[in-house]
């Protein structure tokens, strides 16, 4: 029988042990009692037999011959019987040599059948004992030979004593022990059950807490005050839980660090197992692919490319690179297996947003295209005129002067273009390095306005400056910000009518931004082209700008845009033809010019 319940097992074993011990004890006690009873009776009956012998000896001391002694015995058996029976606590019978009854209790004429005993005693010349049952009553029978000095048997004395008392005693002992056993049986069950409970209780507590730990509750402590073996176990267990807790805290910390690292990466990260289950990812993956809480690689919108990449990785290819366009972004996806000590294969997929790079390349191509066009135009003119001059003899002085002037002019233009290229490069350099400091914009604008007023005098343009009170300082690069306001006001002056007006206003937009507005009432910009105004080398009216000697590379507002962007600000332009232009710049009051990943 198998027990799967410790408590029941404990009870069963205790009960079984109790049963065995009790039964064994009972058996032993009964045996001993029985032995002692039989022994006592035997001793008593032997004494009576000895008495008969000695009495007979006393009475026949003067008789020498055994035959005469025998005769005396037969003749005086009654007297012998009376003498001994009077003080014996047993039934006495005297037998002759043949086993016939010759003296007994007068009320009992029937002799017991002691044939077997007589036969045995005759052989051994010693007393014999047996246990008989007569009318349902057990008796001890002892037969003792009556022996002369010459070891002659002349008769037998038979002593019988009832075992009723011994049987009663045994029965009584059996009943008492039986009752004790029964009471003890129930007590042992109850006590074992209680003891089992007390043993099991801390184990159950251990089990319960283990389950809770299994469910993630690592802050549990087992309370057990005793310092027994269970106490030692609970101490070790508590220590183990503490260690597990510490490890979990450590692992959580590692995970957080990993998450922070992943979050700090500029690239999206996906780690998958060989079944496509996502092991970890970062937010850029979700941003790029617009998937919330992906579980597998198959949850991504553009799963085709990712699945293909994944499948290729599974086939054993390494370092796969693909470029895809997703929602207006250009993403470079690279995949490679993660090498580790474990057998399982995991893969790492990196997604890099190369949209800015590609745009920059596009801008560069466009720039190069623009430059090459700009370069080609004067060069074509110069080559054309020099070709003409070299191939033809020009006698016309006027034509010659015109040609040379044109060549000169185009040459200067080339020089300006080269300067523009250098400046463009400088702008890139300028924008790439920003030094933040707390700037009083009000003071800065006041200085700039004062400075630009000098330039505006020639066109009698009024520059009005207004600022709100108690504006906060803002972080920024003083020189760069000063330059952008110079560029904007410079453009406003350039494109204002003679005697016009320019309004410069500084206000607090909200808790996050200061608002700087520069409004001119000049020629304005075609609204269709105002988005191009911040592009490099863009000039609103190329011919007019070129013909009217309005030099400039078209980089001023480009620089403004770059610097505003670098300061995490905003720039907006509103313009109508012949109504003027309003450029609004928002500069942040609190600026963290680091890690703003949403560049585009």
Binding residues (CB under 8 A) for another protein: these are 1, 13, 16-17, 20, 24, 27-28, 31, 34-35, 38, 42, 44, 46-47, 50-55, 57-58, 61-62, 84, 86-89, 116-117, 120-121, 124, 126-133, 138, 142, 149
What CA–CA distance (Å, rounded) separates 91 from 132? 14
CB of 143 to another protein, least distance (A): 8
What is the nearest approach in angstroms of another protein to the Cβ of residue 72?
14
In the complex with another protein, the residue whose CB is nearer, 162 or 334, is 162
Distance in Å, CB of 238 to another protein, minimum: 35
Q: What is the rounded distance in angstroms from the CA atom of residue 533 to the CA atom of residue 524?
A: 12
Q: How far apart are CA 292 and CA 508, in angstroms?
A: 38
The two beta strands, 580-588 and 513-520, are: antiparallel
| CB of 62 or CB of 98, closer to another protein | 62
| Cβ at position 14, least distance to another protein in Å | 11
Give the nearest distance from C-beta 100 to another protein in angstroms.
19
Closest to another protein by CB, 44 or 212: 44
Sign of the dihedral defined by the CA atoms of residues 55, 60, 62, 65, in that order: negative
**Minimum CB–partner distance for residue 182 and another protein (Å):** 21
**Phi, psi (degrees; rounded to nearest 5) at 472:** -80, 160
Cβ density class 535-549: b for 16+ within 10 Å, e for less: bbbbbbeeeeeeeee
Torsion on CA atoms 543, 545, 549, 552, rounded to nearest 10: -130
Q: Least separation, in Å, of the C-beta of 93 and another protein?
A: 16
Tell me the C-alpha distance between 365 and 371, whole Å.
9
Rank residues 57 and 355 by Cβ distance to another protein and give the closer one. 57
What distance in Å separates the CA atoms of residue 589 and residue 472, rounded to the nearest whole number?
A: 7
Give whichever of 95 and 534 is closer to another protein, judged by the CB atom: 95
Q: How far is the CB of 42 from another protein (least distance, A)?
A: 7
Q: Which is nearer to another protein, 169 or 421 (CB)?
A: 169
Q: Give the nearer residue to another protein in terms of CB position, either 117 or 267.
A: 117
- Find the angle CA(594)-CA(595)-CA(597) to the nearest 5 degrees: 140
Compare residues 21 and 247 and give the one whose CB is closer to another protein. Answer: 21
Smallest separation, CB 347 to another protein (Å):
56
DSSP β-bridge partners for residue 121: none
Q: Which is nearer to another protein, 68 or 531 (CB)?
A: 68
Instruction: Tell me what percent of the chain is helix, strand and coil, each rounded to the nearest 5.
Output: 55, 20, 25
Angle at 525 between CA 521 and CA 531, to 5 degrees: 130
Report the alpha-carbon distance of residue 488 to residue 473 in Å, rounded.
21
Measured CA to CA, the distance from residue 386 to residue 390 in angstroms comes to 6
């Amino acid at each position: 029988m198998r027990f799967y319940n410790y408590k029941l097992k404990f009870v069963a074993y205790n009960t079984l042990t109790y049963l065995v011990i009790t039964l064994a004890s009972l058996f032993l006690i009964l045996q001993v009692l029985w032995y002692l009873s039989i022994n006592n009776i035997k001793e008593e009956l032997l004494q009576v037999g000895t008495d008969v012998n000695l009495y007979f000896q006393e009475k026949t001391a003067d008789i020498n011959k055994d035959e005469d002694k025998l005769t005396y015995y037969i003749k005086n058996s009654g007297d012998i019987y009376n003498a001994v029976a009077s003080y014996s606590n047993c039934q006495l019978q005297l037998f002759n040599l043949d086993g016939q009854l010759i003296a007994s209790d007068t009320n009992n004429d029937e002799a017991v059948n002691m044939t077997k005993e007589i036969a045995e005693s005759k052989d051994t010349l010693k007393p014999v004992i047996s246990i008989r049952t007569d009318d349902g009553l057990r008796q001890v029978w002892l037969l003792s030979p009556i022996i002369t000095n010459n070891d002659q048997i002349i008769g037998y004395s038979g002593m019988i004593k009832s075992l009723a008392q011994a049987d009663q005693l045994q029965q009584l002992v059996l009943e008492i022990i039986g009752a004790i056993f029964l009471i003890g049986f129930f007590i042992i069950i109850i006590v074992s059950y209680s003891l089992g409970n007390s043993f099991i209780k801390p184990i159950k507590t251990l089990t319960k807490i283990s389950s809770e730990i299994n469910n993630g509750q690592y802050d549990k402590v087992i309370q057990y005050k005793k310092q027994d073996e269970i106490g030692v176990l609970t101490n070790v267990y508590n220590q183990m839980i503490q260690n597990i807790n510490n490890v979990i805290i450590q692992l959580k910390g590692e995970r957080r660090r990993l998450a922070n690292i992943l979050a700090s990466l500029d690239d999206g990260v996906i780690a998958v197992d060989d079944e496509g289950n996502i092991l970890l990812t970062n937010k850029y993956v979700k941003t790029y692919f617009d998937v919330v809480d992906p579980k597998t690689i198959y949850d991504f919108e553009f799963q085709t490319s990712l699945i293909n990449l994944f499948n290729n990785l599974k086939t054993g290819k390494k370092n796969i690179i693909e470029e895809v366009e997703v929602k207006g972004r250009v993403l470079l996806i690279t995949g490679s297996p993660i090498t580790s000590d474990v057998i399982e294969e995991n893969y790492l997929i990196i997604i890099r947003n190369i949209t800015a790079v590609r745009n920059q390349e596009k801008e560069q191509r466009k720039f190069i295209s623009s430059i090459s066009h700009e370069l080609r135009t004067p060069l074509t003119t110069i080559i054309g005129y020099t070709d003409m001059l070299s191939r033809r003899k020009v006698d016309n002085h006027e034509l010659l002067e015109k040609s040379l002037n044109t060549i000169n002019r185009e040459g200067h233009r080339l020089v300006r273009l080269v300067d523009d290229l250098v400046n463009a490069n400088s702008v890139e350099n300028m924008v790439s390095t920003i030094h933040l400091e707390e700037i009083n914009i009000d003071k800065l604008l006041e200085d700039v306005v004062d400075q630009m007023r000098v330039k505006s005098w020639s066109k009698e343009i009024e520059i009005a400056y207004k600022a709100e009170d108690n504006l906060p300082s803002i972080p920024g690069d003083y020189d760069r910000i000063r330059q952008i306001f110079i560029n904007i006001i410079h453009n406003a002056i350039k494109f204002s009518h003679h005697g016009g007006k320019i309004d410069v206003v500084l206000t607090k937009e909200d808790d996050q931004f200061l608002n700087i507005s520069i409004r001119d009432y000049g020629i304005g910009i075609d609204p269709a082209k105002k988005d191009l105004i911040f592009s490099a080398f863009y000039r609103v009216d190329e011919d007019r700008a070129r013909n009217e000697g309005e030099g400039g590379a078209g980089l001023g507002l480009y620089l403004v845009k770059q610097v505003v962007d670098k300061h995490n600000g905003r720039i907006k332009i509103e313009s109508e033809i012949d109504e003027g232009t309003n450029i609004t710049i928002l500069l942040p009051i609190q600026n963290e010019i680091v890690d703003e990943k949403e560049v585009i």
